Amino acid sequence: MKVLIVDDEEMIRAVLREYVEFEGGTADEAQDGMEAVKKCRTEDYDIVLMDVMMPRLDGFSAVKEIKKIKDVPIIMLSARGEEYDKLFGFELGVDDYVTKPFSPKEVMARIHAVTNRHVSGKGRPIGELVEIEGLKIDMLGRDVYVDGQKAELTPKEYELLFYFVRNEGIALTREKLLADVWGYDFYGDDRTVDTHVKMLRGNLKEYRKFIVTLRGLGYKFER
């Protein structure tokens, strides 16, 4: 596993590098977003750990540039845990969001979960076309249309919607969604699920009605 650690704090980079190398991986470092983008242009990484607040080029801007050139999973690291920041990161296509201060062991668990999910998701045949009223879901082509207009979803929103559809009519706890869609449960945060569901519902417009909230439990997809 090859990890790019992007943070302007040398101590954080050193600690994360130590844990990555302890588990048999290799780590590269960048101290700002500009350097991270340059490295991603010339090197291939299994995952990128990206700080948000950095000089020269911030983490969100760096993610935008990296996503243009590489399909690499990204975990954001930030001292700011506001919902707006998380929503913005997820809309850019990041895979997870860790708030500082964090446990290096937890970061490693999230790295394994995200990379395993990224690898297992590639080339997985789905081959289903679902049409419910004005909502059209092409799982094979990874396209979603709302009243004939293509919806622009993040990678995680696609996975979440497809999972809902495959499990139509089944009550799904937040823990179950974290385990099956994100690939982890112990280190998961219920708010991660709620944030993504909120974003997904917004993109589905009137067809958000198919994702039903089960108070105190989770969600269910039903017509």
Q: What is the pLDDT of residue 118?
A: 67
Separation in Å, CA 152 to CA 25, 41, 93, 203: 34, 25, 11, 7
162-168 average pLDDT score: 88
Closest CA to 185 of 111, 115, 121, 110: 110
Q: What is the pLDDT of residue 119?
A: 58
Between 1 and 187, residue with greater pLDDT: 1
Domains and CATH numbers, the chain: 2-121 (3.40.50.2300), 129-221 (1.10.10.10)
Of 48-57, 72-81, 156-165, 211-220, where does mean pLDDT reach its minimum? 72-81
Between 131 and 182, residue with greater pLDDT: 131
Task: Kindly report the average pLDDT of the chain as a whole number.
Answer: 86
Between 77 and 71, residue with greater pLDDT: 77
CA distance 161 to 198: 12
* Angle CA 110–142–184, to nearest 5: 20
The pLDDT tens digits for 101-129 are 888 998 998 888 888 766 555 443 344 68
Between 137 and 140, residue with greater pLDDT: 137
Confidence at 130, pLDDT banded by 50, 70, 90? confident
